[in-house]
Amino acid sequence: EAGVAQSPRYKIIEKRQSVAFWCNPISGHATLYWYQQILGQGPKLLIQFQNNGVVDDSQLPKDRFSAERLKGVDSTLKIQPAKLEDSAVYLCASSLTNADTQYFGPGTRLTVL
Amino acid sequence: AQSVTQLDSQVPVFEEAPVELRCNYSSSVSVYLFWYVQYPNQGLQLLLKYLSGSTLVKSINGFEAEFNKSQTSFHLRKPSVHISDTAEYFCAVTIPGAQKLVFGQGTRLTINP
């Protein structure tokens, strides 16, 4: 069974630029999560989807971050414009339902200069 | 709201020595508890979890953790570590049905030969 796929693995941009990350969850998993992991900290949930609907986006900085999961499968997370403090690893995870174990992708390491 | 505290940011041990990684949580309701491991340049992997029943849970690679409700702890232990256990370990908590994982800051386990 293929795991959660993410791309790109690494991205370097300058502040005020835009960036997008892509996630392909495990086939059949209805729930998808985006986490932000700042160096030296644990992952922090940004947004949770159940199929193509948002369940929780309470910690998503909506003035600059957006995410979508239009067909209930793949998802993209966008930052526009990026700030220095957005430098982090962005992790995508999926689970069969919202009551099951979450499986994580390898993450995208973003560096904002 | 729930919170997790991992008391040690780094734990260096010698190979074949025992190790304990400490985790304390705060919650006013019942919780599920998890330990995730992150090997270098990889995503998080579930190591073990406590949902209900026996308070002692074990992983397939020799780690175990014990849920202690009175001390609000879920410490991770291994009687004899191997070089391959070098990784960052994250403790996480969620409320049954919520599925929003709250992570601790992580503990970096370094194994010296």
Give tens-digit pLDDT for B2-57.
Answer: 899 999 999 999 999 999 999 999 998 888 999 999 998 788 999 999 988 899 99
Cβ within 8 Å, pair B103-A42 = yes
- Residue B74 has which token pair? 């879920």
Which of B42, B43, B90 lies nearest to residue A42, judging by beta carbons?
A: B90
**How many Å apart are CA B50 and CA B61, to the nearest integer?**
17
Domain count, chain A: 1
CATH of residue A50: 2.60.40.10
Which of B6, B41, B100 lies nearest to residue A45, judging by beta carbons?
A: B100
Domain count, chain B: 1
> Of the given ranges (A58-67, A97-106, B58-67), which has the lowest mean pLDDT?
A97-106
- Which three-class secondary structure state does DSSP give residue A68? strand
CATH of residue B11: 2.60.40.10
Please give the residue range of the domain that contains residue B37. 3-112
Please give the residue range of the domain that contains residue A13. 5-112
**How many Å apart are CA A93 and CA A37, to the nearest integer?**
13
